[in-house]
Amino acid sequence: VRDRVAMGQVSQMKLDQLCNDTLVTVVNGQLPGPTIEVTEGDSVLVHVVNKSPNGVTIHWHGVKQQLNCWADGPAMITQCPIQPNKNFTYRFNVTGQEGTLWWHAHVSCLRATVHGALIIRPRSGPGSYPFPKPDKEIPLVLGEWWDTDLLELERRIKNGEMKEVPTSSTINGKLGAFNNCSGVIADDYVLNVEHGKTYLLRIVNAALHAEFYLKIAGHIFTVVAADANYVKPYTTDLIAISPGETVDVLVVANAPPGKYYMVAMTVPSQWIVEEPLLNTLVISRGIIQYNNTSKGSENTPVLSPELPVDDMGNISFYFHGNLTSLLMPSVPASIDERIFIDVDQGYICKEGESPCRTAVTRMNNISFQLPTSVPLLQAHYYNNISSSISMVREFPSSPPNIEFNRGNTMKATSMRRVRYNTTLEIVFQGPPGETSYLNPMHLHGHDFFILAQGIGEYDPNKDVHTYNLVDPPVRNVALVPRFGWIAIRFVARNPGVWFLHCHLEKHVPSGMATVFVVEDGPTLDTTLPPPPTDYPTCDGQSNKVSY
């Protein structure tokens, strides 16, 4: 075991983009933040120093955090935000995990700029990848540029304003979209390649809202991993990647030397709930440039990929459905419990409002509310959640019946208690209708098997027979198809409080979330240890916890 130590200084800086000076929160003065590179089995220490005026937390997206829920990071779920001028050291290990994950702020909407890649390489070196050894590895972080202040964005979402859209999309922090300041498309991201070489692109979708569809003119991808789990090599010319997901692909630079556009497309309807502009694409571009492109290459025309004509939701459905696990996983053949979770939108009343028209999102009619005084994990560990936090509700069990789940909305801090070692199946059901979009559901602290997905309403008698129990992909994000369902299975063997939420950022403050409270197991090594000594407090008075 090696100790890998990293430093993260969170601060604000002014960035002049698209004619505006915007104050953004960043880590180590970079956008995206630093890539953390570690080896499987390492123990990782990240000292986070908060020099910004707002509280922050960092989540290690996809890290399993076995017996280590304290380091998971979601604000008011596992910890209080690190207050301005305070620090916290995240300690975790990356045992049994390999591939591309990422880290991001998990408070308000700050993750739009506070994020970076987390790369875990095999212990015995890159020679032991289960695919041809790449000549070079390139992290490719897809994101969004927002003019709106991100704390203000959260307030608007909580107010029921769901139409907020980013100003542009980005590739590794560089604008690649139509720039209404300069009036041209900025192709700011350039990747130089050498003919004949193989590149491993480690793609992260760090956007708040956009599902991206990635193409490179004249090149094809071989997908080798998703969410840091190897998949059977899958060849395609189009990658579909939703917020929260990671995909590792091999690209061989075997086209005639020249310049090629890499295009990340997105559908604005995923940003806008009520006025979808179907069939319109927002495009973000970068350039793949061959090193030995002959002189005068400034004038070489850049080749564009053919844009897909099929509906993006269908493309995404097939892309995700085509992934299978490379290693033969042992899928639990039977389950202890099946939980049906209906994800959709509802309405609540603002004070004095009638009829109720404030839009919220929800799971089984409950719009999740974060606690405000004590993080759930702390309450769970020292007392019990229901006695220390108001508005707590047991997450409702419900039959797989859409009508049942389309009732009135209740606001509450919902939670589901789970006994140690329970095998759970969750079926997520998305709402009907042409304009509904894809909801990427992320569970903290666990990977799960994706058994099947389907369009329409889940039918328990019929759809269980379509489950892949042989080589289902193992992921940490389950993308609920547009008016469709997806079934996942996992064993709850990691004591703690684990957030389950949609990774579209506007769905978090608005309530499409719940938590799993996994109880301790019977032995000491299945029991959650006490918090670290520098565990943040919510008042920022002291970094030491005293009870």
Residues contributing to the site for ligand C2O (CB under 6 A) = 59, 61, 74, 104, 106, 244, 442, 444, 499, 501, 503
- Looking at beta carbons only, is 40 or 72 nearer to ligand C2O? 72
The single-letter code of the amino acid at 265 is M
Residue 442 CB, nearest approach to ligand C2O (Å): 5
Parallel/antiparallel/unpaired status of strands 477-480 and 212-216: unpaired
User: Which residue bears the tokens 């694409």?
Assistant: 281
Residue 512 CB, nearest approach to ligand C2O (Å): 12
Buried b / exposed e over 132-144, threshold 16 CB at 10 Å, is eebeebebbbbbb
- Looking at beta carbons only, is 106 or 285 nearer to ligand C2O? 106
The single-letter code of the amino acid at 546 is S
Residue 243 CB, nearest approach to ligand C2O (Å): 8
- What is the phi/psi pair of residue 504, to 5°? -80, 120
Buried b / exposed e over 523-546, threshold 16 CB at 10 Å, is eeebebeebbebbbbbebeeeebe
Residue 96 CB, nearest approach to ligand C2O (Å): 20
CB 120 within 8 A of CB 62: no
Residue 118 CB, nearest approach to ligand C2O (Å): 11
- Looking at beta carbons only, is 230 or 499 nearer to ligand C2O? 499
Distance (Å, whole) CA 105 – CA 513: 17
Residue nearest to ligand C2O (CB): 61
Residue 68 CB, nearest approach to ligand C2O (Å): 16
Beta strands in 78-228 (DSSP E): 87-93, 99-105, 115-121, 136-145, 168-171, 174-175, 189-193, 198-205, 212-216, 221-226
What does the radius of gyration of the chain's CA atoms come to, in whole angstroms? 22
- Looking at beta carbons only, is 244 or 305 nearer to ligand C2O? 244
Contacts of 245 (CB under 8 A, 6+ apart): 205, 226, 227, 440, 475, 477, 479
- Looking at beta carbons only, is 60 or 261 nearer to ligand C2O? 60
- What is the phi/psi pair of residue 269, to 5°? -60, -20
Residue 158 CB, nearest approach to ligand C2O (Å): 17
- Looking at beta carbons only, is 285 or 444 nearer to ligand C2O? 444
- Looking at beta carbons only, is 191 or 228 nearer to ligand C2O? 228
- Looking at beta carbons only, is 63 or 224 nearer to ligand C2O? 63
Residue 465 CB, nearest approach to ligand C2O (Å): 32
User: Which residue bears the tokens 């892949």?
Assistant: 468
Total count of residues recorded for the chain: 547
